[in-house]
Structure 1
Amino acid sequence: MPQYRRLLGIHTGQPASDGAGVKLQRVISGPNLAPFDPFLMLDEFASSDPDDYIAGFPPHPHRGFETITYMLEGRMRHEDHLGNVGLLNPGDVQWMTAARGIIHSEMPEQQSGTLRGFQLWLNLPARDKLGPAAYRDIPAAQIPRLVTPGGVEVVVIAGTFEEGGIHQPGAVQRPCTLPQLFDLHLPPGSRIAPHLNDGQRVLLYVYEGILELLETTNETVAAGRLLRLSESGELHLSSRDGARVLLIAGTPLREPIVQYGPFVMNSREEVEQALRDFRGGELT
């Protein structure tokens, strides 16, 4: 019999406010991030009320990790101290490597309508935390999409999607943590069994519909819940009524994680240095 990835935990996002008052659901956060390593935070923002998002995220610093922003609806404008300017439209992705330091703003480019998407924080290994910052906008047209023989649409943002004879590299490949980020659209009655290498931390965030996870028992998971799975075994997903799911996987760094707001380093001393650098205008 096949060995399936075991379900280690189910987590529910909590209402939160960030930036200048943007309302969101914080799915991954907190003092104990080791179970999610190499991922540090996952936020879902979704509102058609401009009062929930219009103030946006004015200029703020980061150091020590990468941010991945994936837009589903609406428009968001990025500007940073390096002179980068970008506009995220529906389906676009922004991949920003804060590394040694970046100061940027993320502001809605709309006065009404729905703003919906995700931001994921991905840790950097200790050796890269003080490397050069980088920024990349990826238009939706440059992000591979495919439909599996089982009828599941897959948006391959990062890593490589594999199932059966399918081998589709994504828009982004990253060393060390080897992140996999797929947006799975499961129509009613569909199934999918993506191949993921053993040793990778696997998270599934159901953001629409109901997902069924095949393991030792069939687990049914509704929207708004995150599944944390074991690091080995097969993964078989299905949905009787349809679902949309973010599949997030990466190789754990297994290094100390010390976070203070927008700074994520390996020691308290490094975080204190980040604070001194920011206050002294030497973050970058």
Structure 2
Amino acid sequence: MAVAAISRNVIKKVLAVETPEGAGALVRRSIGSMTLKNLTPFLMLDHFHVGNGAGFPDHPHRGQATVTYMLEGSSRHEDSAGHKGTIVTGGVQWMCAGKGIIHAEMPVHAPGQPDPRGLQLWVDLPKQFKMVDPSYQELGPEEIPTAYPGGVDGHVRIKVISGKSHGVESPVRPLGGCWFFHAIFRSKGQFFQEIPAEWTSFAYILKGSLAIGSVTDAHAAFHTLVLSAENDQTGVSVSALEDGTELVLVAGEPLDQTVFQYGPFVMTTREEIQQTLLDYQTGKNGFEKAHTWQSEIGNQ
């Protein structure tokens, strides 16, 4: 027996205003801003634009996963564990920082190529995974599977970055439940995406305008829409009100744990943050190379 398609609704709407961040980059931050501080398991959502000469040089992480999804251009990355590479347009890097890593993310600028633009989502790790070894899951654009709710010639396609959509499943396996979709409408239309009951979910509009559920209110680009999570709501209905509308739809299993955050360090108690700072200062427990390693790309 099929489960009834009962849609979630918008319970909060936040405009992500462009502000400076890092070394000369511009970001639109919604989750993690003062207007949307707590949305477990999500810690931060940045829609970034990295101009020439800007970037994110060497910086540490502990206790979270960072998901970088490139919308235009490309970005290089390098870390203290010896991992390096380039995230190209349409590609994703799912980095689990775990107990500690030093990381650099720098744009690629070339004549005739667009500035790097993309999304970075920080996802809190369940407390039992805070001190795991760092790990990466990376997919190029051709490796991200695509779902077609109305068929290949239909009005929408959904890139399944993680999770499941319309019978298509991503190979990405996060620590903790997290589904991440990029929906691209060719023309006006609607789709229904199932979401596990009680999971936190939101949509971020990249282009065009859309409506959620049975409410016809239009929501424009650069807004984050926090969705309800009632027990009987099996997913969300998304209707594009303009041709070319694009959005990301993200859902995650809420964590019953306290968030203690000090910049790029995210733990569950004040004492754990104090220990993290001590580990970073003394170069141990994941930060052994904190004061000896320098990226090649961060100094260019």
Alignment TM-score > 0.5, same fold: yes
Provide the residue aligned with 1:282 in structure 2. Answer: 284
Distance in 1 between residues matched to 2:90 and 2:42, nearest whole Å: 22
Displacement of 1:137: 2.3
Displacement of 1:174: 2.4
How many residue pairs are counted as aligned between the two chains? 274
Provide the residue aligned with 2:97 in structure 1. Answer: 98
Displacement of 1:35: 4.2
Question: What secondary structure does 1:193 align onto?
Answer: strand
Provide the residue aligned with 2:10 in structure 1. Answer: 7
Q: 1:209-265 deviations in whole A, cap 9, x for unaligned? A: 0011123x3221000100001113141111121310000001101210011100011
Q: Is contact 1:86–1:137 with CA below 8 Å preserved after alignment?
A: no
1:246 maps to 2:245: no
RMSD: 1.9
Q: Aligned runs of 1:62-73 on 2, under 5 Å?
A: 62-73=61-72
Q: Is contact 1:75–1:87 with CA below 8 Å preserved after alignment?
A: yes
User: Aligned letter for 2:149?
Assistant: T
Provide the residue aligned with 2:289 in structure 1. Answer: none
Q: 1:119-164 deviations in whole A, cap 9, x for unaligned? A: 00011011110111112321111110132214211100001113xx
User: Aligned letter for 2:261?
Assistant: Q
User: Aligned letter for 1:58?
Assistant: P
Question: What secondary structure does 2:60 align onto?
Answer: strand
Q: Aligned runs of 1:81-230 on 2, under 5 Å?
A: 81-111=80-110, 113-149=114-150, 150-162=154-166, 167-176=167-176, 178-215=177-214, 217-230=215-228
Query: Which segments of 5 or more consecutive residues in structure 1 lack a partner in the other structure?
Result: none
Distance in 2 between residues matched to 1:136 and 1:202, nearest whole Å: 22
1:28 maps to 2:28: no
Provide the residue aligned with 2:294 in structure 1. Answer: none
User: Aligned letter for 1:159?
Assistant: G
Distance in 2 between residues matched to 1:25 and 1:31, nearest whole Å: 13
Distance in 2 between residues matched to 1:111 and 1:17, nearest whole Å: 22
Question: What secondary structure does 1:218 align onto?
Answer: coil
Q: Is contact 1:159–1:174 with CA below 8 Å preserved after alignment?
A: no
Provide the residue aligned with 2:260 in structure 1. Answer: 258
User: Aligned letter for 1:98?
Assistant: A
Question: What secondary structure does 1:117 align onto?
Answer: strand
Question: What secondary structure does 1:269 align onto?
Answer: helix
Determine which structure has the larger strand proportion and give its number: 1
Question: What secondary structure does 1:36 align onto?
Answer: coil
